[in-house]
Amino acid sequence: MSTASTASSPELPPHGGGEAHGGMVKSLSLWNYFTMGFGAIIGTGWVLLVGDWMILGGGPVEAMIAFVLGAVFLLPIGAVFGELTCAIPISGGIVEYVDRTFGPTAAHITGWFLSLGNGILCPWEAIAISSLLATMWSRLDGFGWLTGVKLYDIAGSSVYLWPLLISEAVCVLVIALNFRGASAAAKLSSFLSKALLAGMVLAMVVSLFKGGPGNLMPLFAKVEAAQSGSASGAVTTAGAFLPGVLAVLVMTPFFYTGFDTIPQSAEEASEGLDWKKFGMVISASLLAAGLFYVFCIYAFGTIFPWRQSVAMPVPALASIEKISMWFYLPMLVIGTLGPLGPMNSFYGATARIMLAMGRKGYLPKSFASIDGRTGTPKTANIVLAVATVIGPFLGGNLLIPLTEVSSLSFVFACTMAAAACMKMRWSEPDLPRPYTVPGGKIGIGLAIAAGAVIIALQVLPFSPAALKPTSWVIVVVWVVLGMALRLTVHRARRE
């Protein structure tokens, strides 16, 4: 077993060199990293889907337990990322970790799935903005024009002109910030993290004075389509308390996705950063997000009896609307602006994963290019820009399938990173490690086991939380596309 090093200068990336040499701009502080990760994790899923969590679990208690377990499962994985990133601080480092331990094929598969898991969040958040505009803003006096022009129906949901255009404007803002560089994007994440915390405090105050723990009962109850106000058509498929917990548990990695945006931007750390503290930032962002989610579910599960709340569209907002418009309007603004934070963070993280894959030759050479003026990945930014602007065209009913696919892809990549961390303890025992996983190899083993359990719950057909057919179609298409792209790159090399 290697011993932890206190070195403040971990191994430099092979393509580093700083801004002066055409590398990534080194400008991010520990606080930037924390707000980037925390903002990416909490996003606005709690605004749009807190009712869905209660419906899927059969009650708010099941949802709270699931989110606590989700944080516990992912903490060892967060620690693994902390150790690996502090030792090898490069953009899209997960590709490098797996390549050094299991070879290029495993690294390509891991990077490709992580690109899917993170990249989905950009169109997902764009869909969330459009859905809020169509379902909540359009009900306000003077805002009925938002749904005045219906374009088409897709997968059972309607797409309207003005919510589409406003969502596209938000997408353009995020794209422009990421083309400017990580520093500008990090400032936006910091601001939105504070706004989201303010929204949660507001909800807790309303719950304290207007609600009560008795509204959490019954402990378990099935919610059928007729009693569900879910914008994504969620119903309770579990038949008892424990299956209800599992049904929500397998989705929690999606809502905790975001802490991995921290290591993806490690190459842009400011000079003199304390790397030992950096390793702790990832776990801190996970714990903070876990507390946020539990308080969120409790607040919106107790303002009214929970079965009454989930019958309303977007219960996080509808329940506050019934109490006070003075509380409702700030929450609606926060909920609508909230997607900017995670969309921004995942845009940058996915671009850097693609950058790493380009450097390794898993993607065309153009993906390895960095803009000399802004220090951002050029080709990856363009690809993600296209994917992001497509989001608002897809409709709200794709939110759940995209959630399931992102969760599976993310956990698979995290499990591969944990396996790489374990193997590297033997293959590279002298690698400087400013931060190490608590518990050493036992802690790393727990990370591998946690990832394997969550994957099994999603892929085994007899699991109560197995992926639905639409989600499997997305996964299969992505795998086929990855194989075709790999063959194309190999053919280009031979020629």
The pLDDT tens digits for 272-317 are 778 888 888 888 889 998 998 998 899 888 888 999 989 988 887 8
> Does the pLDDT at position 195 exceed 50?
yes
Residue the block writes with tokens 């503290």: 277
Task: Find the helix packing angle between 60-87 and 45-57, rounded to 10°.
Answer: 120
Band of the pLDDT at 398, cuts 50, 70, 90?
A: confident
Average the pLDDT over each of 30-39, 188-197, 446-455 and give the range with the smallest value.
188-197
The pLDDT of residue 2 is above 50: no
For residues 379-405, give the mean pLDDT.
84
Structure token digits, residue 256: 């905790």
Is pLDDT above 50 for 22?
Answer: no
- Is residue 462 pLDDT above 70, yes or no? yes
Q: Does residue 308 contact residue 6 with C-beta atoms inside 8 Å?
A: no
Residue 57: pLDDT over 90: yes
Residue 355 confidence (pLDDT) above 60? yes
Q: What is the pLDDT of residues 112-157, one digit of tens each?
A: 998 888 888 888 888 888 888 888 899 888 999 999 999 998 877 8
Question: Tokens 């909800």 map to which residue?
Answer: 203
Confidence of residue 259 (pLDDT cuts 50, 70, 90): confident
Q: What percent of the chain has pLDDT over 70?
A: 88
Exposure string (b/e) for 178-209, b if CB count within 10 Å is 16 or more? bbebbbebbebbbebbebbbebbebbbebbee
Note the CATH number of domain 30-494. Answer: 1.20.1740.10
Alpha-carbon torsion, ordered 349, 440, 15, 490, to 10 deg: -80
User: Which amino acid is located at 65 in the chain?
Assistant: I
Given this model, what pLDDT does residue 7 score?
Answer: 39
Please answer whether residues 412 and 263 qualify as being in contact, where contact means their C-beta atoms are separated by less than 8 angstroms: no
pLDDT, mean of residues 344-372? 82
Who wins on pLDDT, 398 or 220? Answer: 220
pLDDT at 12 over 70: no
Instruction: Decide if pLDDT at 18 tops 60.
Output: no
Q: How far is CA 430 from the centre of its chain?
A: 33
Q: Who contacts 219 (Cβ-Cβ below 8 Å, separation ≥6)?
A: 59, 61, 241
d(CA 256, CA 37): 9
> Which percentage of the chain shows pLDDT scores above 90?
23
* Helix-strand-coil split of the chain, %, nearest 5: 70, 5, 25
Query: Please, what is the end-to-end C-alpha distance for the chain in angstroms?
Result: 45
The yes-or-no verdict on residue 11 having pLDDT over 50 is: no
How confident is the prediction for the chain on average, in pLDDT? 82
With CA atoms as reference, report the closest residue to 47 among 261, 307, 325, 342.
Answer: 342
Question: Reduced to 3 states, what is the DSSP secondary structure of residue 251?
Answer: coil
Give per-residue pLDDT as tens, 60-96: 999 999 999 999 888 999 999 989 988 888 766 788 8
